Each structure stands twice: as structure tokens, then as C-alpha cells.
């Protein structure tokens, strides 16, 4: 009986394996045909123009991050954007001349005020419980006299502990504020008062007391452990040089509340 039972089951098992194998091969074959027939992805850049270095898509390719968010916003958020001239972070661009091997922080700038990338998941077309909270946060931020907005973000790929990531974020923010002061600006991009920090204030915007920095800065720490090992003053000097040579020519504006982009 046992042999008879086994004799009945062996052909079924063999047939099952054969069927599964052929089905899998057929599935893979169909995938290959579909991939071959799929039209190439369209590019926003014309042929021969090169890669849009510094774009958000370019940044994501460098860090191996696939972003499926198209930054579509809801009605309330669009009204907020029009009222306070705040935009999605798609306009952020990496500044040139950065040494990523030695300094594990990516500096991106935009001539407009933008939302934080981390907050966009609450500002999409589908309203969420925290949507109103973030709308109120940005409305209050838009009413303040803060021409320069700065976001510090981390995306560690080395399993760094959260406490190390947070400490590295605070460290790079402190270094950037110190670098702004070296160039004669406070943490919001406004020129330092002449009566404070005399020498630094005299250097503000090359002596132009009406000049300020308007827009958004994004500091992305991608190796928190390595950043914590850097000498703090060396990091300050590195960021100060970028402010003077690249950020100030890009975000520097004259007088008043800054040169806001048209709505």
C-alpha cells in the first residue's frame, strides 16, 4: 500500500515541479519582452545638453534614493503657497565646488522659500491629521522677518544611532550659523547690527548694510559619524567659504524683505 501510494504521488509531484518551472520561465520571458518593448523614459533635458547636476533627481541618484513623490499639494497648501510665497522643495540645487569626500554634508540652495522635504508627506493632495498643524507652522514662519530659511536633514546609510544623527545635525547647524556670522549675517540671513561684533558687522555683505540673503538652504548630513570627527572650526571655515563664493552671489538681495519671486 505504501509503495502504491508513493507511486501515485511521484508523477503529480514531478508534474507540479515541471509546470512551476515552465510557468516561471514563461513569466520571466514575458517580462523580458515587456522590458524590450517598453519605450525609453523621457528626459527633461534635451539630447546633448548633459545631466542637470544639482537637481533633486540628480541628488537622489547619488545617494541611491528613489523618490516617488511628485510634490503635488492640496488646496489648503496651495492657498498657503500663494499667500506667503512658499514653494515645494523641487527648486533646491546643490552648490558647486563641494568636497563630499572630506566634508559629509551636501549644501543645496533655492532662491525661494520652500517647504521641508520631511514635511511634504503631510502637505500632499490627501489631507492628514497633521496637515493643519504644518499649515499653521508655515503660515507663522511666513509672517516672520526671516529672509533665509535653513533646514538640516540627515539620511545616514551606515546604521548610525539616532542620537549621533541628531548631534551631527545640531553640530552642522551651529557651524553654518557661525559661518554666516563670519560673513556678516545673522542666522536668518540679515546683516549684523553695526554695534554688535564690530569686525564681523563691518564685513557684512561687503559693507552693504541693506544686503541680505533671501531663500532656502538645505544642509544634508549623509555620514554623521564622519562629520562628528571633523574639527569644528575647520567645518565653519569650509562653510564660510561657500557662503562668500557661492551662496551670497546666488541668494544675496538688496533692501527691505528681499527680492521675492513673482507668484
The rounded distance, in Å, linking the Cα atoms of 35 and 29 is 10
The rounded distance, in Å, linking the Cα atoms of 246 and 260 is 19
pLDDT at 251 over 80: yes
Q: Give the pLDDT confidence of 201-244 residue by residue, as tens digits.
A: 555 545 566 789 999 999 999 999 999 999 999 999 999 999 99
Beta bridge partners of 221: 105, 154
| CB neighbour burial string for 242-262, b if at least 16 within 10 angstroms, e if fewer | bbbebbbeebbbeeeebebee
Q: What is the pTM of this model?
A: 0.66
pLDDT for 186 equals: 96
pLDDT for 56 equals: 54
Q: Give the pLDDT confidence of 41-88 residue by residue, as tens digits.
A: 444 444 444 555 555 555 555 544 444 445 677 788 899 989 999 999
Amino acid at each position: 500500500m505504501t509503495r502504491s501510494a508513493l507511486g501515485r504521488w511521484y508523477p503529480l509531484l514531478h508534474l507540479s515541479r515541471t509546470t512551476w518551472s515552465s510557468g516561471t520561465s514563461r513569466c520571466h520571458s514575458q517580462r523580458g519582452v515587456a522590458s524590450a518593448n517598453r519605450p525609453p523614459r523621457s528626459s527633461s533635458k534635451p539630447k546633448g545638453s548633459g545631466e542637470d547636476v544639482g537637481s533633486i533627481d540628480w541628488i537622489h541618484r547619488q545617494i541611491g534614493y528613489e523618490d516617488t513623490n511628485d510634490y503635488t499639494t492640496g488646496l489648503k497648501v496651495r492657498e498657503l503657497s500663494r499667500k506667503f510665497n512658499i514653494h515645494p522643495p523641487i527648486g533646491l540645487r546643490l552648490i558647486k565646488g563641494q568636497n563630499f569626500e572630506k566634508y559629509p554634508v551636501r549644501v543645496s540652495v533655492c532662491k525661494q522659500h520652500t517647504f521641508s522635504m520631511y514635511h511634504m508627506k503631510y502637505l500632499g493632495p490627501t489631507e492628514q491629521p497633521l496637515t493643519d498643524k504644518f499649515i499653521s507652522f508655515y503660515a507663522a514662519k511666513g509672517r516672520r522677518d526671516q529672509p533665509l530659511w535653513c533646514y538640516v536633514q540627515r539620511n545616514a546609510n551606515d546604521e548610525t544611532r539616532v542620537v549621533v544623527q541628531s548631534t551631527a545635525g545640531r553640530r552642522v547647524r551651529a557651524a553654518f550659523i557661525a559661518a554666516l556670522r563670519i560673513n556678516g549675517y545673522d542666522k536668518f540671513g540679515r546683516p549684523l547690527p553695526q554695534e554688535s561684533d564690530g569686525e564681523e558687522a563691518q564685513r557684512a555683505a561687503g559693507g552693504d548694510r541693506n544686503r541680505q540673503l533671501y531663500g532656502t538652504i538645505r544642509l544634508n548630513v549623509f555620514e554623521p559619524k564622519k562629520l562628528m570627527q571633523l574639527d569644528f572650526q575647520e567645518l565653519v571655515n569650509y562653510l564660510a567659504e561657500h557662503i562668500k563664493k557661492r551662496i551670497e552671489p546666488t541668494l544675496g538681495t538688496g533692501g527691505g524683505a528681499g527680492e521675492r519671486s513673482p507668484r
